[in-house]
Amino acid sequence: MDRQVLLDALERIVGVGGVKHRPVDLLVYEYDGSVDGAVDTAAPTAVVLPRTTEQVAAIVCLARDAGIPVVARGAGTGLSGGAIAQQGGIIVSLTRMTQVLEVDPIDRTALVEPGVINLELSEGVRDRRMFFAPDPSSQKACTIGGNVAENSGGPHCLKYGVTTNHVLGLEVVLADGSVVWTESARDGYGGLDLTAAMVGSEGMFGIVTKARLKMTPIPAATSVMLAAFGSLDDASSAVTGVIAAGHLPASLEMMDNLTIQAVEPAYHAGYPLDAAGILLIEMDGHPDEVSASSAEVELLCRQAGATSFRLAETATERELLWKGRKMALAAMGRLAPNYYLHDTVVPRSRLNDTLAAVGDISRTHDLPIANVFHAGDGNLHPLVLFDRRKSGDVERVLAASHDLIHTCIEMGGALSGEHGIGTEKRDYMTLVFTESDLRAMAGLKNAFDPHQRMNPEKVLPKGYMCGEVRALHMEAMRQQHGIVPV
């Protein structure tokens, strides 16, 4: 289809103000939040900003007829290249679909459009004593649609779970333009759980246009504690000790000294500057339970070698301690012009070994690496600090990234805890999954999107899609059984 014909057709669907196509307008859509060089950038043919499900469906139908790809995009805060149009085509930006359509305080659910900001949803239902538990560090900007696509987590996922644990149903525009509901909101739901398949599918199966979400009651009491340690080994031991003793904190976060040096002068959160590492521990629930658990957690931290321990006495203190954690990424600009934020997972029992290995990688590549992460569930976020203006820095960062990923996998970990795979970690999938695993994933992708137009070139390594899957399968059958399937 001729480009101008395509643009005219898109403008008829969403109006002139809803289509961006000038090079200067498309520039920002070539990127997400990833470091330049970590993922490939690419420009779409056009960016379209629909306001309704019907408009999204019409855009997808137009793309289907034109034979061009479609990529859904939220706020662009993703960190794995998932919302970049690798093959060009149309980016469907959902940032104008921002309505909270329904709140049910009895069933504790909310029906929302994908462009609703994560934090604004919780603030909007706070007067009904509810909140949306998944809380990525980018929650002031990231959207519910993006959270669903990436199965986002956050500090409170230790107790409350990641996004998939809070999604009850989805309205989705499929690759052929049809609109379906995947509903699993009822107890005793039977059949295939298509909602769970959609969450974390990174826009490869369809475009979410509505989400029915589970809201969580605001706990009656909350305590936030700060424990400082003279070594990361002691801090890691405290983490495993707290969990092994049977406690389930709402969150259990760790920051190393390099992170503290960035955060404390900027936000004055009360983090001791001489600590090798700190733990930020939050307990919530019934007041008596919280009081007893907090006392036990303090004892466990001191037994692990805590050099100081503080319980926030007021809501203002609690908010300030959390502000330091939530703003840690922003504070990194005090240490270096650029950073590359990683996302891997290791077993809690391997935290000591992993952090030691991260230190070795830092020295090997002569790059500072700050550690701030969800220690309770082993979701690491090493921040590799660098200056992209220096020749060779990006290359060294990518080499360090390669070593970080391999190290975490060798520790028995996973590729991603919440940022997704996208293009950033696509070619590392073979480290974790077998050929049979990847063929099964490709088969699911093909079932939803047989023509490979929904966010192509994401998650699955090249060689596992379309006819390539069958070719690989046939070769495997030849080698294993000497037969070729019909």
Residue 195: per-residue pLDDT? 95
DSSP assignment of 310-374: EE--SHHHHHHHHHHHHTHHHHGGGT-SEEEE--EE--GGGHHHHHHHHHHHHHHHT--EEEEEB
User: How would residue 52 be classed by pLDDT, with cut points 50, 70 and 90?
Assistant: very high
**Does the pLDDT at position 465 exceed 90?**
no
Reading the block at residue 1, the tokens are 């289809």
235-263, pLDDT tens digit by residue?
A: 999 999 999 999 999 999 999 999 999 99
179-225, pLDDT tens digit by residue?
A: 999 986 566 667 889 999 999 999 999 999 999 999 999 999 999 99
Reading the block at residue 427, the tokens are 């070619």
Average pLDDT of every residue of the chain:
93
Query: Which option is the CATH number for 3-93: 3.30.43.10, 3.40.1410.10, 3.20.10.10, 3.40.605.10?
Result: 3.30.43.10
The DSSP bridge pattern shows strands 90-93 and 70-73 to be: parallel
**Does the pLDDT at position 315 exceed 50?**
yes
Tell me how far apart the alpha carbons of residues 474 and 227 are, in angstroms, rounded to a whole number.
Answer: 57
**Does the pLDDT at position 43 exceed 80?**
yes
Q: Output 483 or 379, whichever has higher pLDDT.
A: 379
- Model confidence, pTM: 0.93
Residue 39: per-residue pLDDT? 76
Q: Output 56 or 190, whichever has higher pLDDT.
A: 56
Q: How far is CA 127 from CA 35, 94, 104, 284, 315, in A?
A: 38, 27, 13, 19, 17
**Does the pLDDT at position 110 exceed 70?**
yes
Tell me how far apart the alpha carbons of residues 225 and 327 are, in angstroms, rounded to a whole number.
Answer: 18
CATH 3.40.640.10 fits 100-217, yes or no: no
CATH 2.140.10.10 fits 219-333, yes or no: no
Q: What percent of the chain has pLDDT over 90?
A: 91
Per DSSP, the three-state class of 251 is strand
Query: Residue for token digits 């919530």?
Result: 284
Q: How far is CA 176 from CA 67, 207, 382, 451, 467, in A?
A: 11, 11, 40, 10, 20
User: How would residue 105 be classed by pLDDT, with cut points 50, 70 and 90?
Assistant: very high
User: How would residue 483 be classed by pLDDT, with cut points 50, 70 and 90?
Assistant: very low
Residue 486: per-residue pLDDT? 36
Reading the block at residue 340, the tokens are 């590359």
Per-domain boundaries in the chain: 3-93, 100-217, 219-333, 426-481
Average pLDDT, stretch 408-433? 96
The least confident of 272-276, 283-287, 304-308, 465-469 is: 465-469
**Rounded to an integer, what is the distance from CA 383 to the centroid of its chain?**
15
